[in-house]
Amino acid sequence: MDRTFVAIKPDGVKRGLIGNIIRRIEHKGYKIVGMKMLQPTLEIAEKHYAEHKGKPFYPELINYITSGPIVAMVVEGKNVIEGMRHMMGSTVPNDAQVGTIRADFAQTKECNTIHGSDSCESAQREIDIYFKPEELCRDWKSMMDYVWESMPSE
């Protein structure tokens, strides 16, 4: 099963959107196999956003992501990396499709409520930044696991 790293960013936590966003992920049928609340340290933030170092918005991005707690998650599902990006919507909320998390909840690209990995490599890299292997709970069946098992193609 594919895996991605998702984070509800500080604006999402402060606005009380944790439940709403987790509900969307669960309703999609994705399986949450890791979850924690933490306030990213400067070190964690710089690791997470290393690819953006040197860009004009980098200092603001680091200030934003360290400005309060985030809810970090590891999410599993079929083609989940692409699927989560689709549910999140474009980086700029006003370009995002209505119904996506960013279109529905965010106003600016600076404060766009949710993060999701953009490739298999970034997913693994980001999961390793936020989670130790023993912090993941993989050994249980979600309802979706039973549904997949009952499908002819499984």
| Rounded to 5°, angle at Cα 6 from 72 and 11 | 70
- Quote the least distance from Cβ 5 to ligand IDP, whole Å: 11
Name the residue among 5, 28, 6, 2 with its Cα closest to residue 114: 6
User: Closest-CB residue for Mg ion?
Assistant: 118
- Quote the least distance from Cβ 85 to ligand IDP, whole Å: 8
- What is the Cα–Cα distance from 134 to 138, expressed in whole angstroms? 10
- Give 118 or 135: the residue with its C-beta nearer to Mg ion: 118
86 in catalytic set: no
Alpha helices by DSSP H, 17-142: 18-28, 42-48, 58-65, 80-88, 101-105, 120-130
Specify which residues 3 forms β-bridges with.
76
109 binds, among ligand IDP, Mg ion, none (CB under 5 to 8 A by kind): ligand IDP
57 binds, among ligand IDP, Mg ion, none (CB under 5 to 8 A by kind): ligand IDP
- Quote the least distance from Cβ 115 to ligand IDP, whole Å: 6
Interface positions with Mg ion (CB under 5 A)? 118
Active site residues: 115
